[in-house]
Chains A and B, each alone.
Chain A
Amino acid sequence: MNPLLLVIMIVFGIAAILTVVRIAIGPSILDRAVASDVLLTEVICVLGAEMAINHHTRTLPVLLIVAAVGVFGSISVARYVARRDNTTP
């Protein structure tokens, strides 16, 4: 195995693990929404890296759909998250 490929896989894996840690410990729901958005973008990056390394373009439609639909998650969480208080200044 190409050592550079191993380095790339380890870097992507560490990034995913750190993001999952933030999803687990995130104090508020908005932190978790932001972290899951980052995780989704990282899935897009991994799919794209696999395409670039193996010289094909077969998963580009998946990339496009995930990039188009992924925004609705964090938008709907941000839209309907409960306000803690709206009376005290």
Chain B
Amino acid sequence: MTLFDLRIPDAVIDVTVWVLVLFGALLCLTAAIGLLRFRDVPTRLHAATKPQVLGLLVICIAIALSQRSVIGIVLGVVLVIPVLLMQFATAPLSAHMVGRQAYRNGTIDRRSLVVDELADSTETPPAAGG
């Protein structure tokens, strides 16, 4: 009997998967509440990017764990890693684009800014798309 034939007890896996999925669902709810309660686009981006990606990470761990055996868990990790990498790569990208456009569009609360490093550059840089 090698390591790969080892089976983890079903009850342990079940409880862990339920708890992880519940935690991911609560993180989704956190993102939605933040989206509803924050006041302008850059603060809403906080809610949109951070809890969502952490919730997806937790749920992907749950997918990998729900494959029961050790070889199944390894295969599950290999399968969910592309999804996570894709999300980790694209969430900051879209947040950056939306936040920059929100600054130029004037949909932010300028009085709440502590440091405004973009205020000096009054002209749009070339190839900025604005």
Instruction: State which of B26, B97, B122, B124 has its C-beta within 8 Å of the C-beta of A74.
Output: B97
Contact B35 A49 (CB under 8 A): no
Contact A78 B97 (CB under 8 A): yes
Identify which of residues 1-34 in chain A touch chain B, using a CB-to-CB cut-off of 8 Å. 2, 4, 7-8, 11-12, 14-19, 21-22, 27-28, 30-31, 33-34
Cβ proximity bits B24-56 to A, threshold 8 Å, 1 near / 0 not: 111011011101100001001101100011011
Q: How many residues of B contact A (CB 8 A)?
A: 56
Please report whether the interface of chain B is mostly helix, strand, loop or mixed according to DSSP. Answer: helix
Q: What is the CB-to-nearest-CB distance from B62 to chain A, in angstroms, rounded to a whole number?
A: 4
Contact A30 B105 (CB under 8 A): yes
Contact A75 B130 (CB under 8 A): no
Are A41 and B52 CB-contacts (below 8 A) given A34-B44, A81-B101? yes
Contact B83 A52 (CB under 8 A): no
In the complex, A19 Cα to B76 Cα: how many Å? 30
Enumerate chain A interface residues (CB-CB to B < 8 A).
2, 4, 7-8, 11-12, 14-19, 21-22, 27-28, 30-31, 33-35, 37-38, 41-42, 44-45, 48-49, 51-53, 55, 57, 60, 63-64, 67-68, 70-71, 74-75, 77-79, 81, 83-86, 89
Enumerate chain B interface residues (CB-CB to A < 8 A).
17-18, 20-22, 24-26, 28-29, 31-33, 35-36, 41, 44-45, 47-48, 52-53, 55-56, 59-60, 62-63, 65-68, 76, 79-80, 82-83, 86-87, 90-91, 93-94, 97-98, 100-102, 104-107, 122, 124, 129-130
Pick 16 A–B contacts, CB within 8 A, sort by A.
A8-B21, A8-B25, A11-B26, A18-B33, A19-B32, A21-B36, A22-B44, A30-B98, A35-B44, A42-B28, A45-B55, A48-B62, A48-B63, A57-B76, A84-B106, A85-B106
